[in-house]
C-alpha cells in the first residue's frame, strides 16, 4: 500500500534536528518517524507530509524532499509551502493548512495514496481536507487532545482570552471534533486514553468513546536497536564523558529527560528531591533538557514559557541548597540518550516521568528498555503500561508521593529493571505498532465507512469552550 502521514507541525530530517528542543519537536515526531519506517519494513510505500521552511534560522527544512538513511527507496519526507517561508509554531498554522494540502494534491496528481494517517489536531484537519477533495480515507491519531490540556492548565473563564491567544484552543478543539467525526478509525495508545480523553464533554456529539469499532488500540513502541541494555558504539565516548562529569557522584541518580513544559511537571521531581534528605544523601538528580548545559547561561535562548519553568526549578534548587547535587545534561541525539540511560542503569538508577497527565508515555519505555527502573505518573497511559508492577506509580500532584516512589525505585531497582525490560520486549515495539496501523487501514479499505453528514468545520469552538468553562 501507499500510505501518507499528515504531520504539519514541527518537521522531519535525517538528523532529527531540534528534537525535544522546541514544543513542536516532541515525541510525536519520533512516533511518526518510527511507525513510518516500520511500515516500510513491512513492505509498504510511505510519505511524511509536512511544511517547507526556507528560514535561515531553520536551514534543515528547505528542500522539497528528504528521506532517512536506509529508507531511500520507499520513504519520502515531502515538504510543501504553508504560510510563507518562515518557521511557524503549530498554533499559527491553522489558516494556512489548506495551502499545504493543495500543494500535496498537486504533487500527487492522479497517483493518490491508498490511505492517510493524520497526526495531532492540525494533521486531522488536513485529513478532512484530503477526504473532502479526493475521497481518500484517513485514520486519526490525536496524541494529546486540547480538552485535556485545557483542564490540566486549570484555565478558568476569566483566563480564556489569554489562553486562546497563546494556544488557539478554539481552532484545535474544533479540528479535533471534526477529525473524530470524519475519521474512518481513531488510533489510541491505551484503553484509558479511549475511555477518558475521547469521552470529554467538549467532544460530545463528535465521537462516542464507547463505539469500540471506531477505535484501534495500538501502543507505541521503542527502537530496540537504540534503546537496549547491550552496549553500542556510542557508549565508550559517552560513558567517558559522564565518568568525568560525575567523578564526585558514585551512586545512583534520578534521571529526568523532558521538555521544559509546565504539564511535564519536572518541578514535582525537583521538589520531591529537595524535600527528602534520604534522596539527597544517597543519590543525585540529573535533568536532561535539550539545549541546556549551564542553565543560568542557556536560559536566554528559551521561550518565555520555558524560561518560567526553568526559573522555578532553579529557585527551588537554590532555596533547598542542593546545587551541588543537581546536574543538567544536554543530550543531542537518541543514541546519546540511550548510552546515557545505560550508564546510569549500571549504577542502579531510576527514570522519573511525573506529568500531570501523560497520554501515553514513550520516554519511560525507552528508559526501561535501557535498564532504568521507571517511576511514573499515575495519571494517563503510564498507569496502564506498567500495570503489571514493572514500574512504580506516583501521584504527580504530591511531591511526597513522588519521593516515596523514587526511594522505592532505588530499593527495588534490580527487580523493576528486569521486569520492565521483559514488559517492553513483549509489548512495545514499533513493528507491533506498525502492524496495528496496517490492520486498521486494511479494515478501512475493505469496509469503507458509510458517508455521514458533514460536521461543520469552522475552526472556532469558542462558544462551546466558554460554555464548558462556566460549569
* Domain count within the chain: 2
Summarised one tens digit per residue, pLDDT across range 296-333 is 999 999 989 999 999 999 999 999 999 999 999 999 88
State how far the alpha carbon of 50 is from the alpha carbons of 47, 53, 167, 278, 404, in Å.
10, 10, 20, 48, 43
- The predicted-structure confidence for 202-236, as pLDDT tens digits, reads as follows 999 999 999 999 999 999 899 888 999 999 998 99
Q: Is the pLDDT of residue 470 over 80?
A: no
> Which grid coordinates belong to 461?
469552538
At 471 the pLDDT is: 60
Q: Is residue 141 a part of any domain in this protein?
A: yes
Residue 458 has pLDDT above 70, yes or no: yes
CB 362 within 8 A of CB 27: yes
Instruction: Tell whether 412 and 264 lie within a shared domain.
Output: yes
- Does the pLDDT value for residue 6 go beyond 60? yes
318 & 445 share domain:
no
Is the pLDDT assigned to residue 17 strictly greater than 60? Answer: yes
Residue 358, pLDDT score: 87
Residues 215 and 316 in one domain: no
H-helix segments, 114-257: 120-134, 146-152, 160-167, 169-182, 191-192, 235-245
Is the same domain home to 189 and 276? no
In DSSP terms, 187 is beta-bridged to 141, 216
pLDDT digits (tens, 9 = 90+) for 116-165: 999 999 999 999 999 999 999 999 999 989 999 999 888 999 999 999 99
In a shared domain, residues 45 and 109: yes
Q: What average pLDDT does the segment 234-247 reach?
A: 95
Q: Which of 392, 407, 427 is the last residue of a domain?
A: 427
Calpha distance 226→229 (Å, rounded):
9
Q: Is the pLDDT of residue 453 over 60?
A: no
Highest mean pLDDT range out of 329-343, 360-374, 395-409? 395-409
> Do residues 164 and 285 both lie within one domain?
no
Give the CATH number of the domain where residue 298 resides: 3.40.50.2000
Spatial strand order of the sheet with 284-288 comes to 326-329, 284-288, 253-257, 350-353, 373-377, 392-394
Closest CA to 322 of 266, 375, 278, 284: 284
Q: Considering the domain boundaries, does residue 154 fall inside one?
A: yes
Instruction: Tell me what pLDDT residue 21 has.
Output: 82
Query: pLDDT-derived band of residue 192, with 50, 70 and 90 as boundaries?
Result: confident
> Could you tell me if residue 420 is inside a domain?
yes
> Is residue 228 included in any domain, yes or no?
no
What is the predicted pLDDT for the residue at 27?
84
What burial class does residue 448 get, using C-beta atoms within 10 Å of its C-beta: 0-12 exposed, 13-18 middle, 19+ buried? exposed
230 is a domain residue: no
In a domain, 214, yes or no: yes
Give me the pLDDT at residue 45, please.
99
Q: Do 166 and 263 fall into the same domain? A: no
Residues 390 and 466 in one domain: no
Q: Is position 147 within any domain?
A: yes
Within this chain, do residues 172 and 300 fall inside the same structural domain, yes or no? no
How many other CB atoms are found less than 10 A from the CB of residue 244? 8
Based on the domain organization, do 193 and 77 belong to the same domain? yes
- Both 336 and 443 in one domain: the answer is no
Work out the pLDDT band at 20, boundaries 50, 70, 90: confident
What percentage of residues in the chain have a pLDDT greater than 70?
98
> Is residue 452 pLDDT above 70, yes or no?
no
Condensed to tens digits (0 to 9), the pLDDT of residues 424-451 reads: 988 899 999 999 999 999 999 999 876 6
Same domain, 464 and 414: no
Catalogue the E-assigned strands of 305-455: 326-329, 350-353, 373-377, 392-394
Distance CA 264, CA 26 (A): 12
Give me the domain span that covers residue 167: 2-221+432-470
pLDDT in tens, 344-380: 999 999 999 999 988 778 899 999 999 999 999 999 8
Rounded CA-CA distance 145/357 in Å is 11
What pLDDT does 381 receive?
86
- Whether residue 91 is contained in a domain is answered as yes
Amino acid at each position: 500500500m501507499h500510505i501518507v502521514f499528515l504531520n504539519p507541525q514541527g518537521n522531519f530530517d535525517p538528523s532529527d534536528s531540534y528534537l525535544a528542543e522546541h514544543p513542536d519537536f516532541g515525541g510525536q515526531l519520533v512516533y511518526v518517524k518510527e511507525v513510518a519506517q516500520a511500515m516500510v519494513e513491512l513492505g509498504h510505500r510511505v510519505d511524511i507530509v509536512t511544511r517547507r521552511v526556507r528560514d535561515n534560522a531553520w536551514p534543515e527544512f528547505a528542500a522539497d524532499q528528504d528521506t532517512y538513511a536506509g529508507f531511500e527507496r520507499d520513504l519520502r519526507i515531502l515538504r510543501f509551502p504553508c504560510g510563507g517561508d518562515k518557521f511557524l509554531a503549530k498554533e499559527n498554522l491553522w489558516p494556512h493548512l489548506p495551502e499545504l494540502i493543495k500543494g500535496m494534491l498537486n504533487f500527487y496528481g492522479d497517483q493518490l495514496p491508498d490511505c492517510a494517517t493524520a497526526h495531532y489536531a492540525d494533521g486531522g484537519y488536513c485529513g478532512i481536507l484530503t477526504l473532502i477533495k479526493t475521497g481518500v480515507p484517513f485514520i486519526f491519531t490525536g496524541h494529546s487532545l486540547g480538552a485535556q490540556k485545557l483542564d490540566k492548565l486549570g484555565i478558568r473563564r476569566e483566563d480564556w482570552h489569554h489562553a486562546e491567544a497563546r494556544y488557539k484552543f478554539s481552532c484545535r478543539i474544533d479540528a479535533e471534533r471534526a477529525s473524530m467525526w470524519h475519521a474512518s478509525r481513531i488510533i489510541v495508545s491505551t484503553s484509558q486514553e479511549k475511555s477518558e480523553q475521547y469521552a470529554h464533554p467538549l467532544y460530545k456529539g463528535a465521537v462516542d468513546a464507547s463505539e469500540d469499532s471506531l477505535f484501534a488500540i495500538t501502543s507505541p513502541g521503542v527502537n530496540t536497536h537504540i534503546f537496549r541494555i547491550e552496549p553500542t558504539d556510542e557508549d565508550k565516548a559517552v560513558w567517558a564523558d559522564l565518568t568525568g562529569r560525575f567523578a564526585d557522584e558514585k551512586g545512583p541518580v534520578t534521571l529526568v529527560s523532558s521538555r521544559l513544559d509546565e504539564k511535564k511537571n519536572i518541578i514535582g521531581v525537583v521538589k520531591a528531591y529537595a524535600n527528602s534528605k534520604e534522596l539527597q544523601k544517597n543519590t543525585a538528580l540529573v535533568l536532561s533538557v535539550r539545549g541546556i548545559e549551564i542553565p543560568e547561561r542557556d536560559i536566554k535562548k528559551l521561550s518565555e514559557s520555558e524560561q518560567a519553568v526553568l526559573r522555578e526549578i532553579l529557585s527551588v534548587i537554590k532555596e533547598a541548597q542542593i546545587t551541588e547535587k543537581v546536574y543538567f545534561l544536554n543530550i543531542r541525539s537518541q543514541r546519546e540518550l540511550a548510552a546515557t540511560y545505560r550508564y546510569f542503569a549500571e549504577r542502579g538508577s531510576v527514570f522519573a516521568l511525573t506529568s500531570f497527565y501523560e497520554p501515553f508515555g514513550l520516554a519511560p519505555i525507552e528508559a526501561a528498555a535501557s535498564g532504568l527502573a521507571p517511576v511514573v505518573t499515575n495519571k494517563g497511559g503510564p498507569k496502564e503500561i506498567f500495570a503489571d508492577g514493572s514500574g512504580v506509580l506516583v501521584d504527580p500532584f504530591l511531591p511526597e508521593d513522588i519521593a516515596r516512589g523514587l526511594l522505592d525505585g532505588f530499593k527495588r531497582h534490580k527487580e523493576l529493571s528486569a521486569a520492565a525490560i521483559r514488559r517492553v520486549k513483549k509489548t512495545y515495539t514499533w513493528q507491533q505498532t506498525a502492524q496495528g496501523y496496517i490492520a486498521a487501514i486494511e479494515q478501512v479499505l475493505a469496509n469503507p465507512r458509510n458517508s455521514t453528514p458533514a460536521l461543520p468545520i469552522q475552526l472556532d469552538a469558542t462558544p462551546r469552550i466558554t460554555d464548558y468553562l462556566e460549569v
